[in-house]
Amino acid sequence: MLEPLRFMTEDQVREIRHTFGTPTFVYDQATLETQARHVLAFPNAFGMNARYAMKALPTAAIIRVFLDMGLDIDASSGFEAERAMRAGATPERIQITAQQLPDNLDELLSRGVLFTCCSLHQLEVYGRLRPGAEACIRVNPGLGSGHNNRTNVGGPASSFGIWHEHLDRALDIARRYRLRIVRMHTHIGSGGDPDVWRHCARLSLGIAARLPEVTTLSLGGGFKVGRMTGEASADLQRVGEAVKADVERFANDLGRRLRIEIEPGTFLVANAGALVCTAIDVVDTGNAGYRFIKTDAGMTEVIRPSLYGAQHPVTIVPAEPGQRGRFEYLVVGHCCESGDLLTPAPGDPEGVCPRLLTEARIGDALVIGGTGAYCAAMSPKNYNSFPEVAEVLLTTDGQFRLIRRRQELDHMLANEIL
């Protein structure tokens, strides 16, 4: 099945190439705002707060769209928190939940940034810095919902959060520093099954029951988004309704009304982004082999296929309109790396999976869809010394606005010392 363009016409793709060159990421403001409204409508019993997991796409213009829509910020490092503030977020709208303690944690706390303690060590450090303060802890409830181990951030194979069996040790640390644990955070991974979410939420509520001062429960993010035709996306209404009933039951049983937080990233930005690139060569390996399209982008922009065997839709936009046939192709990137493959077998970065595409010719445009999340943000940029690419926002009035300039070689070399 040929994949359609989601939010651009073929003429707009050609306009992008002419105006900004390739490769260029394009983000659709209308889709960003629509997804934000879905998130803000998440069912809840006693109040809800939504945070944008900015690690998915931390470009300042994107952060500002979500701030204006009423979302707060989930930062995964001290650097992300600083970046969010430079984009316009006030400190009290930012919460850091990080594997690595920020070197300037004391300063960030003094400015009003919220912090989640993600290990016993982090809780100890926080207690020394802020004895007698309110605290938030992240707990690994023992189960996750990711579609593979690399996207599953709950369960025994995950290092994220305080293991639920170590909760007594966390409470001992809290007592020693007179900390009041008023917020609890969990994150179970990238899934969309409401039944799995409900089961994980029940585990989290069971842990919250042992923390008598907790009034806010964060369920994290990880709401699955289908990028390819036929792939299912998480239904936030169904997930929310499944959790809401249990939060109401928790209130009836314990007399505590929990405010819910969610922290989506992928759900907000994945299908709001596309990478426009160019076919730089078309080759084959004979009758027993494959046809290949080589592009001027690759793992330097979209590494998810190489990491996870992730699937992204690919659309050929001919340089000139006209009728063409269809062929099966493997689409490969520009890196001198055998793993730079944009069409791996689903879930298997070691396998290959040809796509039926419009006949490709050198100079045609390719649009790699579903690249709003964990693409520009998670690229091994500058591999083979390729520059970081440009980013453009398609505004709600139909204009293309440059929001990140293409990197130049001088920028890449600025910190080198001969």
Asked if residue 26 lies in contact with residue 396, where contact means CB atoms within 8 angstroms, the answer is no
Looking at the 3D structure of the chain, how many domains does it have?
Answer: 2
What local confidence, expressed as pLDDT, does residue 152 receive?
A: 40
pLDDT at 62 over 90: yes
Q: What is the extent of the structural domain holding 361?
A: 10-26+270-412
What local confidence, expressed as pLDDT, does residue 195 receive?
A: 78
Is there a domain that residue 2 lies in?
Answer: no
Instruction: Examine the domain organization and report whether 218 and 300 are in the same domain.
Output: no
Residue of 200, 335, 336, 353 marked active site: 336
Is there a domain that residue 351 lies in?
Answer: yes
pLDDT at 66 over 50: yes
In 3-state terms the chain splits into helix, strand, coil percentages (rounded to 5) of 30, 25, 45
Question: pLDDT, tens digit, for every residue of 10-45?
Answer: 999 999 999 999 999 999 999 999 999 999 999 999
Instruction: Examine the domain organization and report whether 46 and 181 are in the same domain.
Output: yes
Is there a domain that residue 3 lies in?
Answer: no
Instruction: Examine the domain organization and report whether 168 and 274 are in the same domain.
Output: no
Q: For position 186, which CATH number holds?
A: 3.20.20.10
Instruction: Examine the domain organization and report whether 219 and 297 are in the same domain.
Output: no
Instruction: Examine the domain organization and report whether 325 and 212 are in the same domain.
Output: no
pLDDT at 149 over 70: no
Instruction: Examine the domain organization and report whether 236 and 323 are in the same domain.
Output: no
Is there a domain that residue 314 lies in?
Answer: yes
Q: For position 287, which CATH number holds?
A: 2.40.37.10
Instruction: Examine the domain organization and report whether 234 and 89 are in the same domain.
Output: yes
Question: pLDDT, tens digit, for every residue of 167-210?
Answer: 999 999 999 999 999 999 998 655 667 777 788 888 899 999 99
State the Cα–Cα distance between residues 309 and 300, nearest whole angstrom: 16
Is there a domain that residue 165 lies in?
Answer: yes
Q: Domain boundary residue among 235, 266, 297?
A: 266
Asked if residue 274 lies in contact with residue 25, where contact means CB atoms within 8 angstroms, the answer is yes
What local confidence, expressed as pLDDT, does residue 76 receive?
A: 97
Q: Which of 393, 387, 410, 413 is nearest to 297 (CA)?
A: 387
Can you tell me the mean pLDDT for 62-80?
98
Residue 150, CB-side half-sphere exposure with 13 Å CA sphere? 10
Instruction: Examine the domain organization and report whether 362 and 329 are in the same domain.
Output: yes
Instruction: Examine the domain organization and report whether 235 and 347 are in the same domain.
Output: no
Instruction: Examine the domain organization and report whether 274 and 262 are in the same domain.
Output: no
The dihedral built from the CA positions of residue 365, 368, 369 and 373, taken in this order, carries a sign that is negative
Does residue 353 carry a catalytic annotation? Answer: no
Extended strands (E) in 131-258: 134-140, 162-163, 180-185, 216-218
Instruction: Examine the domain organization and report whether 119 and 219 are in the same domain.
Output: yes
Instruction: Examine the domain organization and report whether 220 and 177 are in the same domain.
Output: yes
State the Cα–Cα distance between residues 223 and 264, nearest whole angstrom: 7
Average pLDDT, the chain: 93
